[in-house]
Structures are given as structure tokens and as C-alpha cells.
A and B are shown apart, each in its own frame.
Chain A
Amino acid sequence: MKNSSPSLWKATLAIVWKDLTAELRSRELLTSMLVFALLVILIFNFALELDARARANITAGVLWVTFTFAGTLGLNRSMAVEKDRGCLDGLLLAPVDRAAIYLGKALSNWVFLLIVAGIVLPVYSLLYNTNLFQPGLILVILLASEGYIAVGTLLASMAVQARTRDILLPILLFPVVIPVLVAAVKASSGFLEGLGWVDVSTWVNLLIVYDVIFTAVSFMVFDFVVEE
């Protein structure tokens, strides 16, 4: 019996299934991301004693700082789980296109970040007395988090090889994601201030272009990054 290698999507889905099942059991990654994210917005709430107008102005910034830091925590943890028990070797030994490993890990990381965002938004809305459930903002969160995770997963798989991985990832990641963060904050602010599509479309388009370019590049270079 000789087996045939699974397709890219079957291998990707197997990795996503594995990550979600393991996380449902341990809740290590989601708990740490969530607790961290909630603490950040709580600290901002107490540290910045602002009136209603000022609060509205800083919402987008606080949200994206929260998502960025919590996301870094999740990215580090997600790859550390693979590295510490040698499981990354287990994945690399499988006869699958290595892009499937990248896609699987990136999709899982994206799901985790979106779950955190889904919990942070109502808590933030309550604490800051503002309504964040706007379709425009949700679109921005989807696009910006995709770009952030696409680059973050690639860089996390590089950083995890180093002993200083916990500090190395933010140092590598933050400069590269500046465009996505700037666009995300501008587009989020625009939607929260009630601006029209015309006023924010530049930032949304930038997010789309960033997502396409960086996802494609990360997809293509992952094999070289994990090669010894």
C-alpha cells in the first residue's frame, strides 16, 4: 500500500483541525491572548481619564494596540507549541507541500485572533460606552488581522528557531506591519466617525493590497524559512 500525498487544502485543513482541537482542550493560547487583551483595554481605560469625545478619538488606536500585542502573544505561542515537542519536524517530515503548513498555521492563528477580537469588541463597547458593532469596522478587522497574521506566521516560524524568540518576534514583526496598522487605525477611525466610503476607501484598498502581496510572498518563501 503506497499512499498518495494529500492535496494542499486537505493538508491545510488537517493542520487547522489539529490546532483548533488542541486549543479547545488546553485553552492556553486563547486564554493568554484574551486576558492580555482585556488587561490592555482596562489599563487604557483607567490611565486615560478622557471625556466622551476624546474617547471616541482614541478608540481605533487602543483597539489596534490591543490586537497587535495580543496577536504577537498568540503567534509566539502557536509556533512554540510546534517547536518545543519537536512537532515542527513532524510537520516538515510529512510529504505535503510546505505551503500547506504555512496556510494551516496562518488560518488557525487568524481564527484565534478573530475570536479574541469578537470578545474584546463588546467589552470595549461597555467600558468606553461606544458602539463598535459597525460593518465597516468589522471589515477592517477582518482585512487588517489577515495581513498581520500572514506576515506574523511567517516571522514567528523564523523567530521560533532562536533562543530569544519571545523578544525577537515583535522586533521583526512590528516594522513590517506598520503599513497595515496605520491603514487599520485610519480606516477604523473613519468608520467610527461616520465618514463615507469615499473617505476611507484609500485605507481599505491599502489593506487589501497589503494582504494580497504579503500573503502571496509569505506563502512562497515559507519553505526557505523553515529549511535548515
Chain B
Amino acid sequence: MSMIEVRGLVKRFGVKPVLLGLNLQVEKGEFVALLGPNGAGKTTFLRILASLSRPTLGEVRVAGFHLPHQAAAVRQRLGVVEHLPLLYGDLSAEENLRFYGRLYGLRSLEGRMGEVLDLIGLSHRRKDLVRTFSRGMQQRLAIGRAILHNPDVLLLDEPHTGLDQDACQMLDATLARVAGEGWTIVMTSHDLARAADLATRFDVLSRGRILSSARKQDLPQDGLLAFYRMALESQTGGGR
């Protein structure tokens, strides 16, 4: 079952085109790493999937619902992690989750908060204000916020940005646990090594188009860098 279906997606800001007829299909349970250079349109694409931005042309469906016409239904089934944590520093971890839980109309909120805090390894800091958290802990809590309502699809926009090596490893461990629960995940990243560890499929996006796509099992070990370079070179005709 396709959780994300995108056909002929075009996005322009004024006259400036950012996405030029992008096509993508993501099946249930896949962890897709969307790779590409700066300015490729990765964040714009994720914001359209997240219903934060409207497509100029094309068809976008998330969890079977059409965007932008069924945006509220999509939002109910979507979790988003950006490089900013989307958390309130003056609220505790628990209060942040409770606030977002109320906005998503969660029924058994307290129980679910406990499960999520356990999953992201922050149960012991549940009462502490988020502004006292390290950047890495904030990002883990951001993942907790995003999965609190049990979404069908998780969108991660460069979640490792600004994290040190240890924090990245902690975040990866959290993401691996979350991925193990069977969520459909799309993650943008510049970091090929991390993407190679986490994702099950790789798509290269450049100048508003998906250039190439490969499943992890179809690539040789340590073959992601070569695949990525080849995809980018195919766009420039291989010549430099």
C-alpha cells in the first residue's frame, strides 16, 4: 500500500521554480532517505507533504488523502521533525507532549506520553524544562512529539543538523527504534553515512526532480556514495 504518492509535482515561489514535475511513491513501512545538494528542493518538498505549503501543480496523496484538499486528515496521520525542535523551552518535556497531545485529540494521553518518553529515553527528565535540555535531547523529544499521536507517516527534515557526534548517535538509536516499530519514514539528509545506516531506500533529488532511486539491498556495501555521485553526474551529463 502506498503511503505517499506524488505525481508531476511542481512548486514555484513567484516565478522561481523549485520543484519541476517531481514523482515519488513510498510504500508502507519504507524508510526513504531523500538525498541531494543544498537548494535541491528537499525541504520545500517535505513542507508540501506536511501540508505547510501548497503545490503549484501536480497530485500529492499522503496516507490516501489528497493535498491540499484533505489537509486536516493528512495532518492527523503525519508526524514531522524539523531541524528546529518545535518545542516550548519554558514547558517541561511532559507539558510539551501533553500540549501537543491535546491538539491531536489523544484519548489515553497520559499512558501514551509514558510510552513515548520510554521509547526516546527521556522518562527520567520528564519533569524538566526543555530549555535545560541539550540540543540532542531536544531533538529526541521532537521525535517523541512527532510520534505521540501514532502517525502513519513520519517526515524528518535534516534531523541531525546542529548535533554533535554523541547526540547524533543517540538520535540514530532513537530513530532506529522508531523505524523498528514499522512507521513509514521520509528523511532528508546531507549525511550519506547516517542515511546508509538508517534508511531502506535512497532517492536523489536535485534541481527539483528525483534523479535516481535504489533500495538498500540493491546497492553494494559502501555503495551509496558512488550511487549518489552517479545520480548527480547523470544530470550534468557526466561532464565537468
Please give the residue numbers on chain A whose beta carbons come within 8 Å of chain B beta carbons, in ascending order.
Answer: 1-6, 10-11, 14, 17-18, 21-23, 25-26, 81, 85-87, 89-96, 227-228
Is chain B's interface secondary structure helix, strand, loop, or mixed overall? loop
- A3 near B76 with CB under 8 A, answer yes
Shortest distance in angstroms between B126's beta carbon and chain A's nearest beta carbon?
15
Interface residues of B in 47-103 (CB under 8 A from A): 47, 50-54, 72-73, 75-78, 80, 82, 84-91, 95, 99-100, 102-103
| Interface status of B163 (Cβ within 8 A of chain A) | no
Given B52, B84, B102, which contacts A6 in the complex, CB threshold below 8 Å?
Answer: B102
- A93 near B84 with CB under 8 A, answer no
Kindly count the residue-residue contacts between A and B in the assembled complex, taking CB atoms under 8 Å apart.
94
Shortest distance in angstroms between B81's beta carbon and chain A's nearest beta carbon?
10
Residue of B nearest to A227 (CB): B54
Binds A, one of B104-112, B117-125, B198-206, B222-230: B104-112
B residues near A227, Cβ cutoff 8 Å: 54
Complex Cα–Cα for A3 and B149 (A): 7
A-B pairs, top 10 by smallest CB distance, nearest first, are A86-B84, A90-B86, A94-B103, A14-B102, A22-B90, A95-B75, A95-B76, A6-B105, A25-B90, A228-B53
- A85 near B88 with CB under 8 A, answer yes
- A86 near B104 with CB under 8 A, answer no
B residues near A23, Cβ cutoff 8 Å: 90
- B75 near A22 with CB under 8 A, answer no
Given B54, B95, B145, which contacts A90 in the complex, CB threshold below 8 Å?
Answer: B145
Given B78, B85, B91, B150, which contacts A86 in the complex, CB threshold below 8 Å?
Answer: B85
